[in-house]
Copies of this chain bind each other. A is one copy, B any other.
Amino acid sequence: MRRRRAKIFAALGDETRLALVAKLCRGSDLSISELTETAADARISRQAVTKHLRVLENAGLVRCSRTGRERRFSYRPEAAEEMREYLEFVTAKWDEALERLKTFVES
């Protein structure tokens, strides 16, 4: 469980991959070469983009499907949603702690 979370966060922990996610979450299916041109502000090679996409796919943030000679990548919302819930959980724990401290001080 913790390993899975670490994997997903790590996948999001890179500017290039964040840019790719930002592109893909807009809804379009994009090929590797399309993603290479636009998503990465930095001039980055196609192979580098391919590797980043593999990382995102392994983390479950993206799915891929072949159509002819192309591989089109699309966003996959579950993983990010899980992480959002986890961060919510962490914040909730923190708020509980604050609350406990507050009532302790007041008593």
Which residues of A are at the interface with B, using a C-beta cutoff of 8 A? 2-3, 5-15, 17-19, 21-22, 25-28, 75, 77, 80-81, 83-84, 87-88, 90-91, 93-94, 96-98, 100-101
Q: What is the distance, in angstroms, from A93's C-beta to the closest C-beta of chain B?
A: 5
Chain A to chain B contacts (Cβ below 8 Å), 29 pairs? A2-B15, A2-B18, A2-B19, A3-B15, A6-B12, A6-B13, A6-B15, A6-B18, A8-B13, A9-B13, A10-B13, A12-B13, A13-B13, A25-B93, A25-B94, A26-B94, A26-B97, A27-B93, A27-B94, A27-B96, A27-B97, A27-B98, A80-B87, A81-B87, A81-B91, A83-B87, A84-B84, A84-B91, A87-B87
Instruction: Work out how many copies of this chain go into the complex.
Output: 2
